[in-house]
Structure 1
């Protein structure tokens, strides 16, 4: 993990006329431009390249707006959007941990906690605490909003893998059972979306886009 010694704004400091709370907020907003450089494993549906974290976060926010009606328990849409926009910001310093990377997952929590401490500290006091609370809420997956946000985080790459005729489902050692197991959290938030996701996985298995499981 690489945590920057200086924020990006240090390369071209804000003028003296911009100071205090606003300067801290603008420093943070400049810093999170780094999210656009963090590549994920998921392939885009519309182009022959991998998506980046900023694109992923935007897609999740839109999915919340479109699919919230399928939540088994009603959710606060605005807060759920906040959760999906905040949860991957730590990957600016911690890097992306692919879903099927068991080795990387072993250190993921430690890396992301340290990244959250460093990144959110750029915000003014009060606002920093709110962002950290949202990040912690997503990670804990205890509220209806966090469960639905997590479901979107699992459903979005599934759709991209479907469009890529496998995508990361073709990772060595991954089977259809692996995909079902790691996508099952969708069902914690929406039985209807989980049924649709299962249909896509099952059909992908039938078409040979993912190694057959035992089911």
Structure 2
């Protein structure tokens, strides 16, 4: 039986060759493990409406937004740290899955699920890198620093843009109302007042166009 036929669901088709350096071995194994992020689907669709985006695409999109929109951060931020935070922030969803922000039941359980996932995921790395990435994830969740507040602002803005671009997208599919969107998006004002003002304009226009229920 060949390697491809032995591979289980979600596992590499062919295992990497072994290496004597245990640190490198753990890093390479982690790199293969986080490839699973490409299979975690979100409620948002690509701007062309062709299919749902996945978490890896979402993280890449956010990283580009950090590069392009850094001038709108409410406070001075370290773009390099914001980028690292955005690349790490959804890794736990490999095990916890994506949580739809307007599903109140799932939201109530989200923190516990994602912390359990973080406990499982990050220790797969060498200890120094495990601590570093877990720290970035915790910082993003806590929103106590300018970098984290701006990163969170971008994380909220991106699906909003996609829902508008797809003529309502998951808003219409799930009966989401404008007041729900604005309540969820309000955290953006902590990271960027300029982006928050744009969001209020976009939501108002979405209501006028019938993309979002008033």
Q: Kindly tell me: are residues 16 and 207 of structure 1, through their superposed partners in 2, closer, same or farther at Cα, counting changes over 3 Å?
A: closer
Q: Report matched runs for 1:46-57 at 5 Å.
A: 46-57=48-59
Partner of 1:185: 187
Partner of 2:84: 82
Q: Kindly tell me: are residues 138 and 95 of structure 1, through their superposed partners in 2, closer, same or farther at Cα, counting changes over 3 Å?
A: same
Partner of 1:95: 97
Partner of 1:129: 131
Partner of 1:201: 203
Partner of 1:42: 44
Q: Flag structure 2 segments of 5+ consecutive residues without an equivalent.
A: 1-9
- After the TM superposition, list the runs of 4 or more consecutive aligned residues in structure 1 that deviate by more than 6 angstroms: none
Give the alignment partner of residue 146 of structure 2, picking from 126, 144, 147.
144
Q: Is the 8 A contact 1:160 1:167 kept in 2?
A: yes
Q: Flag structure 1 segments of 5+ consecutive residues without an equivalent.
A: 1-6
* SS across alignment from 1:194: helix
Distance 2:84 2:190 in 1: 20
Cα root mean square deviation, aligned: 1.8
Q: Is the 8 A contact 1:14 1:23 kept in 2?
A: no
TM-aligned CA deviation for residue 17 of structure 1: 3.1
Q: Kindly tell me: are residues 206 and 47 of structure 1, through their superposed partners in 2, closer, same or farther at Cα, counting changes over 3 Å?
A: closer
- What do residues 176-208 of structure 1 show as CA deviations (whole Å, max 9, x unaligned)? 011011011111111111111111100001111
Q: Is the 8 A contact 2:123 2:130 kept in 1?
A: yes
How many residues align? The count is 207
Partner of 2:4: none
TM-aligned CA deviation for residue 168 of structure 1: 1.7
TM-aligned CA deviation for residue 167 of structure 1: 1.0
TM-aligned CA deviation for residue 18 of structure 1: 4.6
Partner of 1:29: 31
Distance 2:11 2:111 in 1: 25
TM-aligned CA deviation for residue 47 of structure 1: 4.6
Distance 2:205 2:124 in 1: 46
Distance 1:22 1:47 in 2: 40
TM-aligned CA deviation for residue 8 of structure 1: 3.8
Distance 1:152 1:83 in 2: 11
